[in-house]
Structure 1
Amino acid sequence: MYWVALPMWADNPDAETVEPREYRVWLTPGQAYPIDGVRYDAVPTYPLRREEPTAQAVDRWAWKIQWTPAIGCRPAAPIVHVWDCEEAPRDAEELDVFAALEVLRSPGAVPCTECGADVALGPLA
């Protein structure tokens, strides 16, 4: 298997521009082969450096639970938020990703769409 970095373009909505981004993907030897007539001696080859996690990277995986009240015959349901979401209860316990996913398995549970919990946890749930 080969680790390949491909140049891509991505929208930057804050600056209203398009900028280059790097997209990395694993390829098998059958998928990654030299193209006839192309020289590869100028292509940089170096190992990726493993970066130490920062406080922000650690915080990003903290989650909080907000319970909606029971109304009529509908039971109370949890909403999973990113730890710093405006809607998240300030005094709620911070959970790790596994605990947040366990909460999402309960009936009626939903991830918050305002803070991006649905984007972060949706594919995992």
Structure 2
Amino acid sequence: MGTTYLTARLNGGEARYKLPGGHPLTGRSTPDLELTDDGRLADHLHGGRALLLDLTDDPELRALAAGYADRVDTLTADCPSRPELAAVLVRPDGFTAWAADVGAQALTSTAGLAEAPEKWFGVPAGAVTPG
């Protein structure tokens, strides 16, 4: 147990950024989730872009992500090992910028997804900025 703890500390496995949001994954290195029919999460991060992983086939999530299509990839998949997980926004460095579980009310507003992409990736394409 001590060796595992020490190895995780030396490799940065215990690193956590203080980010807004109450989900346990937010601010942590995103686990390499096994995805049904799509391999593993890491297989979709090789391009060095952010990724919104939609695990509930939610059209509202994908609509929100559409404004960031030039900066954020979107993947709809299933994750049998984490059935409680609804969606995860993964930064290009592999850390979770936002996550929500199934049953979270209004995933795109009260849970913070509407704010997270803008914080990390700027305003969505086509958005009118105050000026």
TM-score normalised per structure 1: 0.22
Task: Compare relative contact order (CA 8 Å, sep 6+) and give the higher one, 1 or 2.
Answer: 2
**Highest CA radius of gyration, 1 or 2?**
1
In the superposition, the TM-score normalised over structure 2's length comes to 0.21
Give 1 or 2: higher helix fraction.
2
Relative to total residues, which structure has the larger strand share, 1 or 2? 1
